[in-house]
């Protein structure tokens, strides 16, 4: 009988392997090879509630895939995105900002804020402009000096991962890309630190699968609504841009026509003045007198 296989990119498998406190060693081993933070900060790695409560009554409730706290209070947020969406960059930044701002309780000081690291794992190419499959972003100035490390975004793109191992995080990304139980077994044999993760992935229960399927259905509905809103906003912005460009073109045309009309009137007036000057010249009036009356130069 062929062994059952469910891809680790499925929400409920990913959540079981990395988002269950009982399997926290998987998450710890993955993060240790990905992030440059003190190793002892992983001594107390805790899975937290993934729901982001709205800051005010009419605010938006957010749901992240996985939220963790380290020993020092650092917040690590992991988001898995299989399908490409148009607002993903804005969404990951929004979640990171929410995770930072909600740390401030009433009367708390800004110096109590802990770093937020948002990790986005994409099963599609999100950063067309980058060649690397690992890209890290922080706030820096044009001279590459860091303004603050309170917000950090790390983006992993699975389609860009090379066939040959080239980094400590490579085996974990191969695990996420696995397409069969045989691949699990090969990875577990070559990389002992992945053995527990492959076992967890194969032990997802029917109840967990059902629970996450229902949750995923609701999230898909939410994403569809957000995508429709995104398309509508993009269309509205494009239409507004075209209207503004048309108005500006009309204004420019009007200004150009007004300039041409004014220039024509000026030339006609100057021609009339020259005719008057010519008649005055015939009467024997001097150039100086004609210039004083008409304002044109003697050579004209």
Q: 91-131 pLDDT, tens per residue?
A: 899 989 989 888 887 567 888 899 999 999 999 999 999 99
pLDDT > 70: what percent of the chain? Answer: 82
Mean pLDDT score across all residues of the chain: 81
Domain hosting 30: range is: 11-204
Q: What's the first-to-final CA gap in the chain, in angstroms?
A: 107
What average pLDDT does range 163-189 have in this prediction?
A: 91
**Token pair for 288:** 């100086």
Is 221 a residue whose pLDDT tops 90?
no
pTM comes to 0.64
Angstrom CA distances, 216 to 6, 15, 80, 119, stand at 15, 11, 12, 19
290 within some domain: no
**Token pair for 61:** 């409730």
What average pLDDT does range 178-191 have in this prediction?
A: 91
pLDDT given at position 56: 45
**Token pair for 120:** 């986005």
293 within some domain: no
77 within some domain: yes
For the CA atoms of the chain, what is the radius of gyration? 34
In the chain, how many domains are there?
Answer: 1
Helix (H, G, I), strand (E, B) or coil at 90: helix
Using left for φ > 0, alpha for ψ between -120 and 50, and beta otherwise, residue 295 falls in left
Is 252 a residue whose pLDDT tops 60?
yes
pLDDT given at position 210: 54
Beta-carbon contacts of residue 12 (< 8 Å; ≥ 6 apart):
204, 208, 209, 211, 212, 213, 215, 216
Q: 90-101 pLDDT, tens per residue?
A: 889 998 998 988
In whole angstroms, what is the distance from residue 250 CA to residue 294 CA?
38
Q: 42-55 pLDDT, tens per residue?
A: 999 998 877 555 55
In whole angstroms, what is the distance from residue 277 CA to residue 210 CA?
99
Is 1 a residue whose pLDDT tops 60?
no
What average pLDDT does range 2-25 have in this prediction?
A: 82
Angstrom CA distances, 60 to 39, 68, 77, 94, 222, stand at 35, 21, 18, 11, 12
37 within some domain: yes
In whole angstroms, what is the distance from residue 292 CA to residue 286 CA?
10
255 within some domain: no
Position with higher pLDDT, 57 vs 254 = 254
Is 88 a residue whose pLDDT tops 80?
yes
Position with higher pLDDT, 232 vs 217 = 232
Q: What are phi and psi of 232, to 5 degrees?
A: -60, -45
In whole angstroms, what is the distance from residue 118 CA to residue 149 CA?
12
Lowest mean pLDDT of 2-16, 151-165, 232-246, name the range: 232-246
Cβ 159 vs Cβ 125: under 8 Å: yes
């Amino acid at each position: 009988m062929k062994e059952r296989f469910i891809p680790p990119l499925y929400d409920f498998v990913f959540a079981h392997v990395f988002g269950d406190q009982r399997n926290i060693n998987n998450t710890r081993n993955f993060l240790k090879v990905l992030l440059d933070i003190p190793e002892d900060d992983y001594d107390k790695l805790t899975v937290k509630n993934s729901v982001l409560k709205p800051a005010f009554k009419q605010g938006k409730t957010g749901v992240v895939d996985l939220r963790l706290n380290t020993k020092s209070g650092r917040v690590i947020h992991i988001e898995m995105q299989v399908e490409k969406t148009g607002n993903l960059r804005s969404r990951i930044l929004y979640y990171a900002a929410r995770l930072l701002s909600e740390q401030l309780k009433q009367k708390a000081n800004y110096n109590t804020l802990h770093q937020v690291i948002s990790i986005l794992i994409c099963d599609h190419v999100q950063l067309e402009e980058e060649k690397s499959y690992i890209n890290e972003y922080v706030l820096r100035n044009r001279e590459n000096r860091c303004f603050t490390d309170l917000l950090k975004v790390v983006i992993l793109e699975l389609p860009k991962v090379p066939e040959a191992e080239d980094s400590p995080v490579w085996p974990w990304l191969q695990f996420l890309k696995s397409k069969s139980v045989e691949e699990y077994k090969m990875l577990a044999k070559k990389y002992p630190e992945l053995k527990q993760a492959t076992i967890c992935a194969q032990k997802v229960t029917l109840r967990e699968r059902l629970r996450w399927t229902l949750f995923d259905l609701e999230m898909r509905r939410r994403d569809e609504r957000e995508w429709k809103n995104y398309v509508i906003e993009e269309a509205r912005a494009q239409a507004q841009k075209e209207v503004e460009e048309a108005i500006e073109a009309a204004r420019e045309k009007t200004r150009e026509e007004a300039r041409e009309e004014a220039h024509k009137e000026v030339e006609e007036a100057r021609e009339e003045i020259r005719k008057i000057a010519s008649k005055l010249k015939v009467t024997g009036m001097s150039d100086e007198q004609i210039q004083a009356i008409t304002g044109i130069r003697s050579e004209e």
